Amino acid sequence: MSSHRILNYSLRPAKNIERKMICEVLQRLIHFGNLNKYQYVGLGSRYFSDFSLIHKNLGIKRMISIEKDIDNKDWFEFNRPYKCITPIYDHTNNALPKLKWDSPTILWLDYDGHLSKTVFTDIMYFCSNAVGGSLLLITVNATAQQARSEEKVRALINEVGEDRVPRGTHGKDLSKKEKPKVLRKIIDNEIQEKLSIRNGVLPFDQKINYQQLFNFVYEDGAQMLTVGGIIYTNRQKQLLNKCHFIEFEFYKPSFEQYSIFVPNLTFREIHHLNKSLPLKGSIRKSFIPNKEIEQYAKVYRYFPTFTEAEV
């Protein structure tokens, strides 16, 4: 059964926060040119949550949603929120080669499954065709298996191929805490390798670099990893510097992760904390544990508020 029939993607709080953080970073791409020139490509599912957010906040009108569940085409068409979203009903491996890559692209491969060989095909196509100023995001399931050490390693080898598993990887490296780090390394290696191949025939000013921007780990049930960044030519390095991505607390250019935690708070507790934010010092007369206050203070600007409403 397709995941959109099991999960309501619009009501996942950590995912909601992640989308808003990413959208705020994407606004800095204005330094690479008018955002109207960008195309957004994602996996909209039935909810199109990321499409709605990006269209409203960035004004991008060229939007493409890839959906492999071709049996429910009419269902997806009914839920398509904007006319500017063009659906393609196919697997990403087949759909990406059908796109035009002559303009900057924001590609979010928001998979719900584990890292696999088909993901590397999509990475290869992006790295081989996307123009400077484009951005790639990859989300995969990073849940650790409950298995013996050697079985964990064997399962990862089966999923990604033995040549992609970093040397010296052991079962302890695939625990809940450590597995996202291994997956990030595998994805980063793949991007660097494919760009190196492309750069082999390019003059110096057109050679393409990759700067990681995101390394999110979060849970709305399963543990998920979102990693990604921007590609730019040597000629565009000054444009990258103007973006000042380092100003974002959740900017993570290497192996360091940014964990999104969503504290369980009542509306009254949220209103109480908001009066003291941005946080300077401690919050007085609070029954809320300090850990949850600290977690909320990090994400309050992106914190979702779900209420029951009749529309």
Determine the length of the chain.
311
Whole-number pLDDT of residue 282: 67
Query: pLDDT tens for residues 172-217?
Result: 999 999 999 999 999 999 999 999 999 999 999 999 999 999 999 9
Q: Which domain holds residue 272?
A: 267-302
The model's pLDDT over 37-92, given as tens digits with 9 standing for 90+, comes to: 999 999 988 999 999 999 999 999 999 999 999 999 999 999 999 999 999 999 99
C-alpha to C-alpha distance for 115 and 225, rounded to whole angstroms:
10
**In this structure, is residue 180 part of a structural domain?**
yes
Q: Can you tell me the distance from the alpha carbon of 220 to that of 3, in angstroms, rounded to the nearest whole number?
A: 14
283 and 162: one domain?
no
pLDDT digits (tens, 9 = 90+) for 111-126: 999 999 999 999 999 9
- The answer, yes or no, to whether residue 4 has pLDDT greater than 50, is no
pLDDT classification of 5: cutoffs 50, 70, 90: very low
Tell me: do 236 and 119 sit in the same domain: yes
Average pLDDT rounded to a whole number, residues 287-293 = 89
pLDDT category, 306, cuts 50, 70, 90?
Answer: confident
What pLDDT is stored for residue 149 in this prediction? 86
Residue 254 domain flag? yes
| CATH number for 203 | 3.40.50.150
Residues 133 and 279 in one domain: no
pTM here is 0.93
User: What is the rounded radius of gyration, in angstroms, for the C-alpha atoms of the chain?
Assistant: 20
Q: In whole angstroms, what is the distance from residue 151 CA to residue 189 CA?
A: 23
With 0-12 CB in 10 A as exposed, 13-18 as middle and 19+ as buried, what is 285? exposed
Whether the pLDDT of residue 9 is over 80: the answer is no
Residue 71 lies in a domain: yes
Task: Give the pLDDT confidence score for residue 44 in this predicted structure.
Answer: 85
- Tokens at residue 152, please? 């964990």
Q: Looking at the structure, do residues 114 and 217 belong to the same domain, yes or no?
A: yes
Strands in 135-141's sheet, in edge-to-edge order, are 85-89, 62-67, 39-42, 105-114, 135-141, 223-233, 208-219, 258-260
Q: Is residue 157 in some structural domain?
A: yes
* 222-to-86, 113, 145, 285 alpha-carbon distances in Å: 30, 10, 11, 35
How far from the centroid of its chain's Cα atoms is residue 259's Cα? 13
SS (H, E, C) the chain: CCHHHCCCHHHCHHHHHHHHHHHHHHHHHHHHCCHHHCEEEECCCCCCHHHHHHHHHHCCCEEEEEECCHHHHHHHHHHCCCCCEEEEECCHHHHHHHCCCCCCEEEEEEEEEECCHHHHHHHHHHHHHCCCCCEEEEEEECCCCCCCHHHHHHHHHHHHCHHHCCCCCCHHHHCCCCHHHHHHHHHHHHHHHHHHHHHCCCCHHHCEEEEEEEEEEEECCCEEEEEEEEEEEHHHHHHHHHHCHHHCCCCCCCCCCEEECCCCCCHHHHHHHHCCCCCCCCCCCCCCCHHHHHHHHHHHHHCCCCCCCCC
Cis status, amide bond into 166, omega within 30 of 0 = no
**Would you say residue 285 has pLDDT above 70?**
no
User: Do 289 and 201 belong to one domain?
Assistant: no
Query: Is residue 227 a part of any domain in this protein?
Result: yes
Q: What is the mean pLDDT of residues 96-103?
A: 96
pLDDT tens digits for range 219-263: 999 999 999 999 999 999 999 999 999 999 999 999 999 999 999
Asked if residue 19 belongs to a domain, the reply is yes
Position 1 pLDDT exceeds 50:
no
Instruction: Check residue 48 and give left, alpha or beta (phi > 0: left; psi -120 to 50: alpha).
Output: left
In a shared domain, residues 118 and 238: yes
- What gap in Å lies between CA 308 and CA 311, rounded to an integer? 10
With cut-offs at 50, 70 and 90, classify the pLDDT of residue 311.
Answer: low
Of the candidate ranges 148-162, 245-259, 285-299, the one whose mean pLDDT is the lowest: 285-299
Domain count, the chain: 2
In terms of Cα–Cα distance, which of 308, 210, 234 is closest to 267?
A: 308
% pLDDT > 90, the chain: 85
